Amino acid sequence: MKQVSVIGASVADEDLYSFAYRLGKELGRRNVVVINGGRSGVMEAVSRGVREAGGISVGIMTTYDGSDANPYLSIKINTGMGWNRNPIVVASSEVVIAVGGAWGTLSELAYAKILNRKIIGYRTHEIEGMVRVHSVDEVLEVLRNWGIID
């Protein structure tokens, strides 16, 4: 199974939430394991979409007890590392998809560059080498071109 990290806004507006939810459904349908920070906003939306499609979503949690987990995760990995868990979210996948986001997302994007991960971005920070997209269909096309999905 392929693994993709979806990172982004912990407080998501309607557009970001909807985008992440639809992305999660499409990835879940294609048996892509989705790694994320396990919390609210984009992380919740993508996990919800994955779950509803019958897929697997893994949350790399900031706490030791997973008390900050969204209810749609298939698996919680409780790290107790706070934001220091961000490189784990990124290192767990071949591709990082950023959906909105603030400073935490920016740090994950920096780790994606350091770890030489492929990056796709929707309404997020400007990062050199990122493939910018405007729709879930565009994300899927890029993932097809990179051999992540069929």
Residue 135 within any structural domain of the chain? yes
- Reference 131, options 140, 119, 141; nearest CA is 119
| pLDDT for the residue numbered 126 | 95
Classify 120 as helix, strand or coil: strand
CATH number of the domain within which 70 lies = 3.40.50.450
Residue 116 within any structural domain of the chain? yes
**pTM beyond 0.95, yes or no:** yes
Residue 149 within any structural domain of the chain? no
Q: In angstroms, what CA-CA distances link 21 with 25, 52, 100, 145? A: 6, 10, 13, 22
**pLDDT tens for the chain, residues 1 to 150:** 899 999 999 999 999 999 999 999 999 999 999 999 999 999 999 999 999 999 999 999 999 999 999 999 999 999 999 999 999 999 999 999 999 999 999 999 999 999 999 999 999 999 999 999 999 999 999 999 999 999
Instruction: Give the E-state strand segments of the chain in sequence order.
Output: 3-8, 33-36, 57-61, 75-78, 95-99, 118-122, 131-132
- Domain, as residue range, for 62: 3-143
Residue 94 within any structural domain of the chain? yes
Q: Would you state the structure tokens that stand for residue 107, as one six-digit string?
A: 């740090």
Question: What is the count of structural domains for the chain?
Answer: 1
